[in-house]
Amino acid sequence: MNYKNKGFTSIECIVSLSIICIAVYIVSTSVYASYNLVKSNEKNIEMLNIAKSSLEDKKYFVRNSELKEIKESLDTQEIGSYEVRTKLEKDKEYYQCFKINVKVISNLKKIELNSYVTQ
């Protein structure tokens, strides 16, 4: 009886180890990809918040400006590892209306928000 079963456990172990190896490979690959995705989402949210706050700042400036004529402008600033470009231009088709364009640029991604504001 013992003679007949000789070697079975070894084969069983090899099969089990192979299955575990495959499982670990699949899981580690997917977890790594997910981790990257979470990181990328985190960056996106950060960039979006920066874009939103820059846009609101510009809107506040235009709305509360006491200047008769607001000059068109293109500002570039560094916030953390991001480059923020804010462009303010007058929309000649509409009465005292300005177009604001905010771009937040990182090494890999770019987020853009557009809005209009009336003085």
Among 66, 69, 78, 93, binds another protein (CB under 8 A): 93
- Residue 114 interacts with another protein (CB under 8 A)? yes
- Residue 84 interacts with another protein (CB under 8 A)? no
- Residue 45 interacts with another protein (CB under 8 A)? yes
- Residue 55 interacts with another protein (CB under 8 A)? yes
- The 3 state secondary structure assigned to the chain is CHHHHCCHHHHHHHHHHHHHHHHHHHHHHHHHHHHHHHHHHHHHHHHHHHHHHHHHHHHHHHHHCCCCCCCCEEEEEEECCEEEEEEEEEECCCCCEEEEEEEEECCCCEEEEEEEEEC
- Residue 64 interacts with another protein (CB under 8 A)? no
List of residues contacting another protein (CB under 8 A): 1-2, 5, 8-9, 12-13, 15-16, 19-20, 23-24, 26-27, 30-31, 34, 37-38, 41, 44-45, 48, 52, 55, 91, 93-97, 99, 111, 113-118
